[in-house]
Amino acid sequence: EEEKRKYVKGKKLGEGTYANVYLGHSRQDPAVLVAIKKIKVQKEYKDGLAPDAVRELKHLQELHHPNIISLLSVFSSKDQNLNLVLEYLPLGDLEMLIRDVDRVRYGAADIKAWMGMLTRAVWFCHDNYVLHRDIKPNNLLIAADGEVKLADFGLARSFADPGRKMTANVITRWYRPPELLFGARHYSGAVDVWSVGLVFAELIIRAPFLPGNSEVEQIALICRQIGTPTEENWPGVTQLKEYTVPSDTVAVWGKEAYMGRFGAVGAEGVDLLIKTLVLDPKKRITAREMLEHKWWRTDPKPTRKEELPRKS
Ligand code: ADP
């Protein structure tokens, strides 16, 4: 109740699938603008779920990093709906920039800056035992100074408990890794790294790389564009509960194939991209290893955040 009284709710900013978002400000300092995200909680879950979710989200309040949206407060309102008070980020998201091909131009140095911010955010989450589990361009919001901030931790869960089984039905389909598509119940930070790889690919080609219309089609796209998961490249994969692949096995594509389509970020950039899109999650690069990659130090230098392209 005290948390709720700290903020004043204003006009509606937008509506998402699971939430209505309102502009708000601090009662104490009206200059501090916030976004209040009111999660639609289904009736049948209203008793019990909201308090649980509040507890789950409390630890996200401790996650402080320049590339992670600040969660200022969490409270459940009298109708049992869940309210998240977030840092207000009015400049849209990365998806808007990627899609606005006619008006927004950007190059390798800009992609390197955005990818650096995203990778640092993901590394910080994983270092703090948090999986994001829904990384996509539309969840990368842009601050007034150009900083990209990872948002929408709606699905985030701590993975501190390694024995804990988790649901496989997470991550927007296009960004979902093969281990989740095959129904793996024990998964790791590698799921986020796969999504980061697909954001990287999408920044380069300015279109989703693997836009499957169904889970079956998603698996088929991965097999055709990246390679078919087999016991040879991923020991144990055929034992996963929902393992099925098209019968025409495709060998994992080599660097030359990627250079043709993604060469705009140079040979080192393509090397990093390939390492994020390794089929076997155990062999996939980690966020920490990504930060040590040569690409960041290869020319061109990443664009300074204040100089990054923004929506017009
Ligand atoms: P979606 O992910 O479907 O866009 P959201 O519920 O995350 O839905 O957000 C709905 C809309 O509210 C967004 O499109 C955006 O315009 C706005 N919004 C969300 N979060 C913020 C924020 N932190 N600052 C400013 N606007 C926001």
Burial of 253 (0-12, 13-18, 19+ CB in 10 A): middle
Are 75 and 4 in contact by the 8 Å Cβ rule? The answer is yes
| Crossing angle for the helix pair 108-127 and 266-276, to the nearest 10 degrees | 30
Residue type, 311: K
Pocket of ligand 1 (CB under 6 A): 13-14, 16-17, 19, 21, 35, 86-90, 138, 141, 152
pLDDT at 3: 83
**Taking the model in full, what pTM does it have?**
0.92
Question: Measured at the alpha carbon of residue 36, what is the angle toward residues 30 and 38, in degrees to the nearest 5?
Answer: 155
Are 45 and 74 in contact by the 8 Å Cβ rule? The answer is no
Residue type, 10: G
Interface pTM (ipTM) of the complex?
Answer: 0.95
Whether 134 is catalytic? yes
What b-and-e string marks burial along 41-65, b requiring 16 or more CB atoms within 10 Å of the CB? beeeeeeeebeebbeebebbeebeb
Q: Could you tell me the distance, in angstroms and rounded to a whole number, from the CA of residue 185 to the centre of ligand 1?
A: 30
Three-class secondary structure of residue 157 per DSSP: strand
Q: Ligand 1 pocket test: which of 7, 9, 11, 13 has the largest number of ligand atoms within 8 Å of its C-beta?
A: 13
Q: Could you tell me the distance, in angstroms and rounded to a whole number, from the CA of residue 83 to the centre of ligand 1?
A: 13
Residue indicated by tokens 């296009």: 174
Q: Could you tell me the distance, in angstroms and rounded to a whole number, from the CA of residue 13 to the centre of ligand 1?
A: 7
Q: Write out residues in the chain with pLDDT < 70, as ranges.
A: 1, 41-56, 154-171
pLDDT at 162: 46
Q: Which atom of ligand 1 is nearest to the CA of 139?
A: 2
Determine whether the annotation assigns residue 243 to a binding site: no
pLDDT at 241: 97
* 96 Rama sector, left if φ>0, alpha if ψ -120 to 50, beta otherwise: alpha
- Which residue is closest in CA terms to ligand 1's atom 11? 14
Look up residue 72 and give its two tokens: 């200022």
